[in-house]
Structure 1
Amino acid sequence: MLLIAGLGNPGSQYAANRHNIGFMAADEIHRRHRFSPWTKKFQALIADGTIDGEKVILIKPQTFMNLSGQSVGEAMRFYKLALDDLVVIYDELDLPPGKLRVKTGGGSGGHNGIKSIDAHCGKDYRRIRVGIGHPGVKEMVTHHVLGNFSKADGEWVEPILGAIADNTGLLVKKDDAGFMNRVALATGSGHRSEPKPVAKPAGQSHIRQARPAKPTVTIPKTGPMADMLNKLFGKKE
């Protein structure tokens, strides 16, 4: 069994915040993989489903970000899960917008939701960090993370949420490198395992090599996630 926690703050006033991209990712996984309806348990909203033959529990703590560990810890103890059965998705200031990294363990990077989970559960769980960029000035950080995504942000937010959801099966298989590669390809943010370039024959340096077509990500047209994205970024023709 895998427990996937998307972090954020509850309430409609926070729904479009950069700090809530973990909630948004959990919602997209829920929609694309046809999970059970959200129910209240462990001071959270939870839903269950099956991905690639493995049972997966989605959890969105409703304790507010800084107390996320209370909710996640309750769920971990109830299901008797080990730390390597936990995946946490959250926003990362120190990554450019649209970049994604997966790591196991490490520091919190100042993220209060991660600090709370570390305190309640331990540190050796998988962390999916979704870059939201840094405002450049420390005094602007709170305003930045609690501010809403702009309409222009839709160019990268929608594809990365879709790519995370479409490739969750690789997380189930613990293929973190494959997951990062697939997301990078789908969002056009680079491939972490590209082969080394082949040397060009003499006299052929002027010939351009054709670039592979960029994979596309299906964006929802109906449902709660589509409604929220349309409100954030406007309907696309």
Structure 2
Amino acid sequence: MLHLCIVGLGNPGDKYSKTRHNAGYDFLDIIAEQFHVDFKYLKKIDADYVEIDFKDQKIALIKPREFINKSGKTLQLVRKYKVKNTKDILVVHDDMDLEPGDVKLKLSGGHAGHNGLRDILKVIGNDFVRLRFGIGHPPNKDQTDSWVIKKPNPQEKKEMANAFEKAINNIDKIMLKDWMIIMNDLHSNEH
């Protein structure tokens, strides 16, 4: 069994590449690049998958191939085949309640209107860790669906890159599941 599964949420396909909703995919791509590993499709969990050896621990990076609103399917399979405990799952996702540039770690909780999380909660419960990247709110609540599948503007993109960097600076602690230390670091570095 794995020490940790890091699951990045996003929508598959070029059409959605680098959109706000794909913050989870984007962050996993950064980790994979840093560790010089490449994703391969793993049919058993219907996801792009790669394992990293880190300090005698096996860590998996997982990008579900389903659309974000159906993320629960992959998480159910991850739970079945890859980890004993949902506490060993870190879900990386976009969050409209945080501004671009903000990144927070949360140990459990509800879905806060995020349809990907809503689907996951239905399937595996809420006892997993989340890494939340801020994407801000659309100017109008009616625009939520189109907002999340658009690319961020240049300023937001810069802010999001800063948030990815803050999180990557904690990658060793993430791999070791030092959640409280990460929370202290990320939450005390408000910009």
TM-score, normalising length: structure 1:
0.73
Higher relative contact order (CA 8 A, sep 6+): 2
CA contact (8 A) 2:104 2:187 kept: no
For 2:79 and 2:165, the matched residues in 1 are separated by 26
- Please give the secondary structure, in 2, of the residue aligned with 1:23: helix
For 2:29 and 2:131, the matched residues in 1 are separated by 15
CA shift digits 1:12-31 (9 cap, x unpaired): 01002100001000111111
- Please give the secondary structure, in 2, of the residue aligned with 1:81: coil
The ranges of structure 1 where at least 4 consecutive aligned residues each deviate by more than 3 angstroms after the TM superposition are 180-185
For 2:53 and 2:184, the matched residues in 1 are separated by 23
Is the counterpart of residue 30 in structure 1 residue 32 in structure 2?
yes
RMSD: 1.7
Counterpart mapping for 1:153-172 below 5 A: 153-172=156-175
Change (3 A) 1:39 1:115: same
Counterpart mapping for 1:135-214 below 5 A: 135-183=138-186, 189-190=190-191
Unmatched runs of 5 consecutive residues or more in structure 1: 191-237
Following superposition, the deviation at residue 184 of structure 1 comes to 5.8
Is the counterpart of residue 9 in structure 1 residue 30 in structure 2?
no
Residue type at the aligned position of 2:39: W
Q: Structure 1 vs Structure 2: percent identity of aligned residues? A: 30
TM-score, normalising length: structure 2:
0.90
Following superposition, the deviation at residue 11 of structure 1 comes to 0.4
Residue type at the aligned position of 2:190: S
Counterpart mapping for 1:54-203 below 5 A: 54-183=57-186, 189-190=190-191
Unmatched runs of 5 consecutive residues or more in structure 2: none
CA shift digits 1:173-197 (9 cap, x unpaired): 3322322344467xx634xxxxxxx
CA contact (8 A) 2:4 2:83 kept: no
More helix by share: 2
Following superposition, the deviation at residue 163 of structure 1 comes to 2.7
